[in-house]
């Protein structure tokens, strides 16, 4: 007698997020808003970007940010400082940008050289110009649910989930990584939307098991392909924030190939969350401009 055959489980078709496409449509709206301001006789919003040292990846990121500003009619100014810039000199530049009425948003590119404290720099930025949302008062407001400016990557993740109508109410969300810039804020945003959030990190026990419970899995640790296919709950939405270079190829924290046919939605390493992060930086800068100038 032959064994009864298991009914084949319905194959899951994994949707790969078009982060660039979504970013472009949001940027088109931001461009219309900037054009309306300029037509009304106001100046365009302006983002100041500061880079210390010349890490090629950081240079490329800030070029991308400036290009994105230009494309929507926003101004940007760039300050490139040498790697050995003393912390007080950087703080002095930030103070100057704070005092400059023509600057609406300030971003100091991370990572910073080891001799500079990222916390001191975050605290030096005027919260009214905190486009990167790293000032403690900005993160405190996020905790209280009253934030106007929110970290760009978490905002991008939420916009992608909403665009794809991923249900968050009562969903199990797992966030891997507890950074100030991604893990902590994204967990708060998911919680605000009534997801049940578990935060995991390098010391978490049974990580694969916890990930397998996730309806929404956010990976933000920067460890290439750490999340395996069998860590993913069938049908989960997977937001892969990590970007690492392995053998000249960009890879995420999630094994992208292994997630195919398991996840219902996944962000790719290129044209995934990256363009959305930049878009949310533009959004924050415009937001800061409006708040500062009553526009």
Would you call 108 helix, strand, or coil by DSSP?
strand
Do 85 and 109 touch, CB atoms closer than 8 A? no
- For helices 19-39 and 56-71, angle between their N-to-C axes, nearest 10 degrees: 50
Q: Is 36 exposed, middle or buried (0-12, 13-18, 19+ CB in 10 A)?
A: exposed
The active-site residue, picked from 66, 104, 129, 132, is 132
Query: Does residue number 72 form part of the binding site for ligand GUN (CB under 6 A)?
Result: no
C-alpha 82: how far from chain center = 26
Residue 152: CB minimum distance to ligand GUN, A:
5
Q: Spell 155-183 as b/e; 16+ CB within 10 A means b.
A: bbbbbbbebeebebeebbbbbbbbbbbbb
Residue with smaller CB distance to ligand GUN, 85 or 277: 277
Indicate the residue among 45 and 185 with the shorter CB distance to ligand GUN: 185
Identify residues 219-238 at the interface with ligand GUN (CB under 6 A).
none
Cβ distance to ligand GUN smaller for residue 55 or 148:
55
Least distance (Å) from ligand GUN to the CB of residue 61? Answer: 6
What is the C-alpha separation between 30 and 97, in angstroms, rounded? 23
Whether 253 is catalytic is no
Beta strands in the chain (DSSP E): 15-16, 46-52, 75-81, 105-108, 172-176, 196-200, 216-219, 237-240, 244-246, 249-251, 265-266
**Closer residue to ligand GUN in complex, CB, 108/262:** 108
Active site residue 109: yes
Pattern 80-119, ligand GUN, x by CB under 6 A: ---------------------------xxxx---------
Phi-psi region of 76 (alpha: psi -120 to 50; beta: other; left: phi over 0): beta
Give whole-number Cα distances, 14 to 157, 249, 263, 264, in Å: 17, 22, 6, 5
Q: How far is the CB of 26 from ligand GUN (least distance, A)?
A: 16
- The residue (of 97 and 107) whose beta carbon lies closer to ligand GUN is 107
Minimum CB separation of residue 185 from ligand GUN in Å reads 11
Q: Per DSSP, what are the bridge partners of residue 216?
A: 173, 237
Closest approach, Cβ 132 to ligand GUN, in A, equals 5
Q: What would the x/- binding string for ligand GUN be over residues 124 to 163, using CB under 6 A?
A: --------x-------------------xx----------
Please say whether the beta carbons of 253 and 227 come within 8 A: yes
Clarify whether 84 is annotated catalytic.
no
Residue with smallest beta-carbon separation from ligand GUN: 110
If the CB atoms of residues 131 and 263 are measured against ligand GUN, the closer one turns out to be 131
Interacting residues with ligand GUN (CB under 6 A):
61, 107-110, 132, 152-153, 181, 277
List the catalytic residues: 65, 109, 132
């Amino acid at each position: 007698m032959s064994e009864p055959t298991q009914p084949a489980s319905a194959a899951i078709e994994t949707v790969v997020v078009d982060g660039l496409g979504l970013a472009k449509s949001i940027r088109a709206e931001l461009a219309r808003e900037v054009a309306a301001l300029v037509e009304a006789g106001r100046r365009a919003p302006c983002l100041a970007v500061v880079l210390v040292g010349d890490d090629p990846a950081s240079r490329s990121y800030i070029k991308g940010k400036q290009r994105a500003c230009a494309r929507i009619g926003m101004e940007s100014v760039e300050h490139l400082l040498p790697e050995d810039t003393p912390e007080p000199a950087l703080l002095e530049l930030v103070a100057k940008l704070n005092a400059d009425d023509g600057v609406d948003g300030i971003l100091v590119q991370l990572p910073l050289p080891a001799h500079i404290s990222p916390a001191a720099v975050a605290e030096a930025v005027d919260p009214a110009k905190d486009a990167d949302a790293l000032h403690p008062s900005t993160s405190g407001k996020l905790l209280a649910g009253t934030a106007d400016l929110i970290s760009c990557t978490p905002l991008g993740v939420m916009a992608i989930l909403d665009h794809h109508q991923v249900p968050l109410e009562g969903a199990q969300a797992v966030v891997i990584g507890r950074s100030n810039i991604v893990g902590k804020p994204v967990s708060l945003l998911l919680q605000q939307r009534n997801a049940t959030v578990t935060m995991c990190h390098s010391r978490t026990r049974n990580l694969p098991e916890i990930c397998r419970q996730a309806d929404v899995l956010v990976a933000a640790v920067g460890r290439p392909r750490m999340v395996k296919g069998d860590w993913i709950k069938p049908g989960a939405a997977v937001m892969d924030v990590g970007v690492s270079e392995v053998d000249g190829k960009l890879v995420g924290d999630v094994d992208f190939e292994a997630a195919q046919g398991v996840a219902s939605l996944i962000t790719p390493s290129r044209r995934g969350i990256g363009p959305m992060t930049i878009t949310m930086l533009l959004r924050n800068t415009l937001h800061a401009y409006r708040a500062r100038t009553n526009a």
